[in-house]
């Protein structure tokens, strides 16, 4: 019988509500959920094509061991045995989980509980490390917590929206639709786009600032200094609610306008105009995304932005605030359960003995990892040099997506025991697995995700599980039980896991931590089935609410104050005579990550059919390349061959190549093979922008 199920899109961090209609004949159609507060019925091209991606071609339908079909018991026994053996012989830090912002919160929760509480290592990291960990680190330095202060409504309420390092039109399209509609109805609203490329997002911009890669710290330091010297700061707020202002101001004042111009690549006139616009507009939202985060100075860039909002008290009030846009559908949910190697569950700190003790007692765990684990890039280095003896990769394809991807592939090949849980049988990573475990895909999975504005929504199943595929949380819990932890992993359902997660957020919290969804600690199956999208926090006994943070202070540092952070503009430019061009990687409108789902849709693949490099006409002329020629791009780490797209949208000296294509879709197109394994020293996030390369006609 035909039915309609409300669920959530599996792609970007906007987290749009989707209605899946399954007809009498089993055919699925998709439309936007008009009642979901993230999108109010809107969908982008990717979301509206979801029904075209549901076939079972290429699916992994049964467990496999060494390429042969195996039963679940045999495969799970082997995984438990090999992990237990590695731990017994080499200690808990000899094993690792590499997970994903594609996992549902319930999957993530069980993975984190098993690794940090029962195995006793913090070697669990996620591909969200590649996406937003610099924002997490910046939030924690400034706010004492990983808190996004505002809501999506703020973008519509603002009089000035600054988009830096964000191609919102392609990477968060429904939010772009909301912003465009707001600007159309209030033409006095201003939009500033800061990006080395003139992206589609810049089409609605009143000002496009074609910044140098990594020029953002200088730009926002200069803005901070300008706000102080022009008297635009809120001294009462600074005195009452913050610390570190003088040191941060001194650092921000290091460059004069000429120096700022040189460091940012913007003219003095552009700088003056932007600074004046920000100074004179009360309602300002600054959105930032991977163009800020994916940098060797990503955390400093985030804090340079936060400094400007703290100084003007433009935070946590309608239409005002800094806004981190997460890339993935559940990067936020992963953060909430401690899916990063340097965090504990429920936004608690792994470095704090009191927090470790709280989590240990709540879980009834024998121990809780006492130090941060290996972050993504370091984790695969440890695989390469033999420190990691057993690795479990879930719902991600690191052989394509991590920097220095060829070295990552060599490391995975070298690892003594690799488990891959995935929906697909053939991925660049899965082909190196000793054990393959078939996972549920979108439309089959059951759980929750959190979007960029802290809104938790249900992903509901509307398709039967194909073959023998099982949920990721179930796979993890089954292995945990076989490792001797049956009592702690006896969850009967995602609803039971969500209730435990909510109860932990409430446990000995009393308002000391930002993440609190204690109102759902006793949720039952009917309640979970009917759960409406809600924003956290929702403490015990409270109704769903719209909550902004920090308008009146209330930061989560022990003294309750927010922190200005003194940051210096990075001085080193990676390019040199041998590699004179700067490569920036990013997304296109109609593909998602390594295209394992969107690559199934002919409609989506028709937008941009093959990997390409955007190159400025002057650079194209220098290397003798014409539009549509094949181009070889090389770095010291690897090479790729892509089609030239000669365009003045690109700044001279810069190249843009999308990160989606892999060797399944085009020969030698894994662009992350060129990216140096350089990371931000605070967040551990790789610098997937500003890579020194050279280019030549193929
Ligand atoms: Fe899905 Fe993002 Fe598009 Fe919304 S904007 S439909 S969440 S891809």
Q: Kindly report, residue by residue over 423-470, the tens digit of the pLDDT.
A: 999 999 999 999 999 999 999 999 999 999 999 999 999 999 999 999
Residues of the chain with CATH 3.30.200.210: 3-53
State in Å: Cα 114 to ligand 1 middle. 31
> Helix axis angle, 376-384 relative to 405-414, nearest 10°?
50
Contact 585, 403 (CB under 8 A): no
For the domain made up of 581-697, the CATH class stated in words is mainly beta
Q: Is 46 in the pocket of ligand 1 (CB under 6 A)?
A: yes
Q: Is 173 in the pocket of ligand 1 (CB under 6 A)?
A: yes
Q: Is 15 in the pocket of ligand 1 (CB under 6 A)?
A: yes
State in Å: Cα 170 to ligand 1 middle. 10
Q: Is 645 in the pocket of ligand 1 (CB under 6 A)?
A: no
Q: Is 12 in the pocket of ligand 1 (CB under 6 A)?
A: yes
Q: Where are the alpha helices (DSSP H) in 590-634?
A: 602-605, 617-622
State in Å: Cα 173 to ligand 1 middle. 6
Q: Is 462 in the pocket of ligand 1 (CB under 6 A)?
A: no
3-state DSSP assignment of residue 32: strand
Task: Report how far apart, in Å, the C-alpha atoms of 86 and of each of 83, 105, 125, 472 are.
Answer: 5, 27, 19, 22
Q: Which residues have CB under 8 Å from 262's CB, separation 6+?
A: none
Q: Which residues have CB under 8 Å from 239's CB, separation 6+?
A: none
Name the residue of 8, 10, 11, 588 whose CB sits within 8 Å of the most ligand 1 atoms, as the mutation to test its pocket: 11
Q: In the numeric block, which tokens belong to residue 83?
A: 């992990």
Task: Report how far apart, in Å, the C-alpha atoms of 471 and of each of 117, 214, 433, 537 are.
Answer: 21, 40, 19, 27
> Tell me: domain 133-325, CATH 3.40.228.10, correct?
yes
Residues of the chain with CATH 3.40.50.740: 64-130+330-490
Q: Is 449 in the pocket of ligand 1 (CB under 6 A)?
A: no
Q: Is 44 in the pocket of ligand 1 (CB under 6 A)?
A: yes
Name the residue of 49, 172, 176 whose CB sits within 8 Å of the most ligand 1 atoms, as the mutation to test its pocket: 172
State in Å: Cα 43 to ligand 1 middle. 6
Q: Name the burial class of residue 417, with classes exposed (0-12), middle (13-18) and buried (19+) by CB atoms within 10 angstroms of its CB.
A: buried
The residue contributing the CA closest to ligand 1 atom 2 is 12
Farthest-apart Cα atoms in the chain, separation? 70
Q: What confidence score (pLDDT) does residue 288 get?
A: 97
Q: Is 325 in the pocket of ligand 1 (CB under 6 A)?
A: no
DSSP lists the bridge partners of residue 194 as: 164, 209
Residue labelled with tokens 């924003």: 535
Q: How far is it, in rounded angstroms, from Cα 565 to Cα 304?
A: 7
Q: How far is it, in rounded angstroms, from Cα 298 to Cα 300?
A: 5
132: left (phi over 0), alpha (psi -120 to 50) or beta: alpha
Q: What confidence score (pLDDT) does residue 572 get?
A: 64
State in Å: Cα 620 to ligand 1 middle. 34
User: Any idea which fold 3-53 has?
Assistant: Phosphorylase Kinase; domain 1 (3.30.200)
Closest ligand 1 atom number to CA of residue 329: 7
Q: What confidence score (pLDDT) does residue 665 get?
A: 62
Contact 673, 410 (CB under 8 A): no
Q: How far is it, in rounded angstroms, from Cα 438 to Cα 441?
A: 9
Residues of the chain with CATH 2.40.40.20: 581-697
Q: Is 287 in the pocket of ligand 1 (CB under 6 A)?
A: no
Closest ligand 1 atom number to CA of residue 451: 7
DSSP lists the bridge partners of residue 694 as: 634
Q: Is 304 in the pocket of ligand 1 (CB under 6 A)?
A: no
Q: Is 9 in the pocket of ligand 1 (CB under 6 A)?
A: yes
State in Å: Cα 163 to ligand 1 middle. 18
Name the residue of 15, 16, 49, 325 whose CB sits within 8 Å of the most ligand 1 atoms, as the mutation to test its pocket: 16
State in Å: Cα 134 to ligand 1 middle. 23
Does the pTM exceed 0.90?
yes
State in Å: Cα 17 to ligand 1 middle. 9
Residues of the chain with CATH 3.40.228.10: 133-325
State in Å: Cα 632 to ligand 1 middle. 33
Q: Tell me the torsion sign for CA atoms 299, 300, 305, 308.
A: positive
CATH architecture for residues 64-130+330-490? 3-Layer(aba) Sandwich (3.40)
Q: Is 16 in the pocket of ligand 1 (CB under 6 A)?
A: yes
pLDDT in tens, 278-292: 999 999 999 999 999
Contact 170, 292 (CB under 8 A): no
Name the residue of 32, 43, 51 whose CB sits within 8 Å of the most ligand 1 atoms, as the mutation to test its pocket: 43
Contact 195, 321 (CB under 8 A): no
State in Å: Cα 55 to ligand 1 middle. 20
Q: Is 592 in the pocket of ligand 1 (CB under 6 A)?
A: no
Task: Report how far apart, in Å, the C-alpha atoms of 527 and of each of 255, 520, 523, 545 are.
Answer: 56, 9, 6, 18
Q: In the numeric block, which tokens belong to residue 679?
A: 């990371």
Q: Is 310 in the pocket of ligand 1 (CB under 6 A)?
A: no
Closest ligand 1 atom number to CA of residue 12: 2
Q: Mean pLDDT of successive 10-residue segments in the chain (698 residues)? A: 94 97 95 98 96 95 97 98 98 97 96 97 95 95 97 98 96 97 97 96 97 95 98 98 98 97 97 98 97 95 98 98 93 89 93 95 94 97 98 95 94 97 94 98 97 97 98 98 97 98 96 94 98 97 96 97 94 84 91 86 87 96 96 94 95 93 73 92 94 95
**ipTM surpassing 0.90:** yes
Q: Is 223 in the pocket of ligand 1 (CB under 6 A)?
A: no
Closest ligand 1 atom number to CA of residue 43: 6
Q: Is 499 in the pocket of ligand 1 (CB under 6 A)?
A: no
């Amino acid at each position: 019988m035909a039915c309609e199920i409300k669920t959530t899109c599996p792609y970007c961090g906007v987290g749009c509500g989707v209605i899946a209609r399954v007809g009498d004949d089993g055919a699925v159609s998709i439309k936007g959920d008009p009642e979901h507060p993230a999108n109010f019925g809107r969908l982008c091209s990717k979301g509206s094509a979801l029904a075209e991606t549901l076939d079972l071609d290429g699916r992994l339908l049964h467990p496999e061991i060494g390429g042969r079909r195996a039963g679940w018991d045999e495969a799970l026994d082997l995984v438990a045995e090999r992990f237990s053996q590695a731990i017994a012989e080499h200690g808990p830090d000899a094993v690792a989980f590499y997970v994903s912002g594609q996992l549902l919160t319930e999957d993530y929760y069980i993975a984190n509980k098993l690794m940090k509480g029962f195995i006793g290592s913090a070697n669990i990291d996620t591909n969200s490390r590649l996406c937003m960990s610099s924002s997490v680190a910046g939030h924690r330095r400034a706010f004492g917590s990983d808190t996004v202060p505002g809501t999506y409504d703020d973008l519509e309420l603002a009089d000035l929206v600054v988009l830096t390092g964000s191609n919102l039109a392609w990477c968060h399209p429904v939010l772009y639709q909301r912003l465009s509609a707001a600007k159309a109805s209030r033409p006095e609203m201003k939009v500033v786009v800061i990006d080395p490329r003139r992206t589609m997002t810049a089409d609605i911009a009143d000002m496009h600032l074609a910044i140098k890669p990594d020029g953002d710290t200088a730009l926002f330091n200069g803005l901070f200094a300008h706000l102080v010297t022009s008297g635009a700061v809120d001294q009462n707020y600074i005195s009452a609610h913050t610390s570190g202002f003088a040191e941060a101001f001194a650092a921000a004042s290091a460059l004069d306008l000429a120096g700022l111009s040189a460091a940012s690549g913007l003219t003095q006139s552009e700088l003056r105009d932007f600074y004046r616009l920000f100074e004179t507009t009360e309602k300002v939202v600054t959105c930032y995304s991977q163009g800020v985060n994916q940098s060797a100075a990503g955390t400093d860039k985030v804090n340079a932005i936060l400094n400007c909002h703290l100084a003007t008290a433009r935070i946590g009030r309608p239409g005002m605030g800094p806004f981190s846009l997460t890339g993935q559908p559940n990067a936020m949910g992963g953060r909430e359960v401690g899916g990063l190697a340097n965090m504990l569950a429920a936004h608690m700190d792994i470095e704090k003995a009191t927090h470790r003790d709280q989590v240990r007692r709540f879980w009834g765990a024998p121990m809780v990892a006492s130090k941060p684990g290996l972050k993504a890039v370091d984790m695969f280095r440890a695989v390469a040099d033999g420190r990691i003896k057993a690795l479990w990769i879930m719902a991600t394809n690191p052989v394509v997506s991590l920097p220095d991807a060829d070295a990552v592939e060599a490391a995975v090949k070298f690892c003594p025991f690799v488990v891959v849980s995935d929906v697909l049988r053939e991925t660049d990573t899965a082909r190196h697995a000793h054990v393959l475990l078939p996972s549920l895909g979108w439309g089959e999975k059951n759980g929750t995700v959190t979007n960029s504005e802290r809104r938790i929504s249900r992903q509901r199943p509307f398709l039967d599980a194909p073959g023998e595929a099982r949920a990721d949380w179930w796979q993890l819990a089954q292995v945990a039980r076989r490792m001797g932890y049956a009592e702690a992993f006896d969850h009967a359902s995602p609803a039971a896991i969500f209730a435990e997660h909510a109860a932990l957020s409430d446990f000995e919290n009393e308002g000391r931590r930002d993440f609190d969804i204690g109102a759902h600690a006793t949720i039952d199956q009917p309640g979970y089935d009917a759960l409406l999208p809600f924003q956290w926090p929702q403490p015990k006994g409270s109704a769903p609410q719209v909550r902004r943070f920090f308008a009146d202070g209330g930061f989560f540092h022990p003294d309750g104050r927010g922190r200005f952070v003194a940051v210096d503009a990075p001085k080193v430019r990676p390019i040199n005579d041998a590699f004179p061009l700067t490569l920036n990687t990013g997304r296109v409108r109609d593909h998602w990550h390594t295209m394992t789902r969107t690559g199934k849709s002919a409609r989506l693949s028709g937008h941009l059919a093959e990997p390409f490099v955007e190159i400025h006409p002057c650079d194209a002329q220098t290397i003798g390349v014409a539009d549509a020629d094949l181009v070889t791009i090389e770095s010291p780490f690897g090479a790729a061959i892509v089609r030239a797209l000669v365009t003045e949208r690109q700044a001279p000296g810069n190249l843009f190549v999308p990160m989606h294509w892999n060797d399944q879709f085009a020969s030698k197109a894994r662009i992350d093979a060129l990216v140096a394994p350089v990371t931000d020293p605070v967040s551990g996030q790789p610098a997937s922008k500003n890579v020194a390369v050279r280019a030549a006609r193929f």
